[in-house]
Amino acid sequence: MTAVHTEPVLEQRQIIRRVPVARVPLARVTKVELRKMFNTRSGFWLMASIVIAALLATTAVILFAPDSELTYATFGAAIGFPMAVILPMVAILSVTSEWSQRSGLTTFTLVPHRSRVVLAKAISSVTVAVVSMLLAFSIGALGNLVGTAITGTAVVWDMSLAECLFIVLGNVLGLLTGFMLGVLIRSSSGAIVAYFVYSLLLPTIFGVLAASQDWFETLRPWVDVSYAQGALFNGAPTGEEWAHIGATGMIWLVIPLVVGVWYVMRSEVK
């Protein structure tokens, strides 16, 4: 009988080392969000409308404004109105596109930390707002030079650098309001409607209440965000006006934004 000798089988254990995967840098995420704001046909024309609206407003002032009104402040006011409408739409669509175009699953898979995506969208939106306002001021300055040259009137620069910065801040706050509504509602149509309720309907209601109720006239600067932020477009705000801006911003911007981000962090993305 033959004895069978079995050799022990040595198991080779492979030690798998988990190499930590570096997070995508915030700067790269922000660049991607900026590209996403331009690389669609609707996004491109929305951005182009900023320049088109500034040019049309400047041309309208040159053609129809009296010679005595051809000042830099007039051009700035004419350009500022379409900016106040377009910029919040830019912020709203930058956020709601993830849900309306069903690209959120891809975005949050590539960047699992949703808060970083929201932050990148906020940075890219504010960047667009600041660059757009600088471009609008440049177009307004050019219009001021051209308009006075055509009419033969003196060039009037009646806006200081501080006043221009306050106007930029006011438009950025308006854009952040649109951004907040986009994060909170996550629907393009719903957020746009809500923005016009914020910017048109609520100030009208508050104005009627202030005109009919003496107690609300004193309270209005502390609860009416449009009324409080209007001080940014009328020169340098006083200390009390800064307090009004801070209080209304906390009520109508910061708290709803925190709630919206909380829902984004926990909502199911399909």
Q: What is the pLDDT of residue 20?
A: 58
Tokens representing residue 202 in the block: 């609520």
pLDDT at 11: 47
176 pLDDT above the threshold of 70: yes
Q: By C-alpha distance, which of 103, 129, 134 is closest to 32?
A: 103
Q: Give the start-to-end residue ranges of the domains of the chain.
A: 26-266
pLDDT band (50, 70, 90) for residue 3:
low
**Amino acid 221: pLDDT:** 92
Is residue 195 pLDDT above 50, yes or no?
A: yes
What average pLDDT does the segment 111-136 reach? Answer: 89
Asked if the model's pLDDT at residue 1 lies above 60, the reply is no
Q: How far apart are CA 152 and CA 185, in angstroms?
A: 51
Residue 270: per-residue pLDDT: 67
Q: What is the pLDDT of residues 201-241, one digit of tens each?
A: 999 999 999 998 888 989 999 999 999 998 898 878 888 99
pTM of the prediction? 0.85
- For the stretch 62-97, pLDDT in tens is 888 888 888 888 888 888 888 888 899 989 988 888
Per-residue pLDDT of 48-62, as tens digits, reads 888 898 899 999 988
For residue 17, the model assigns a pLDDT of: 59
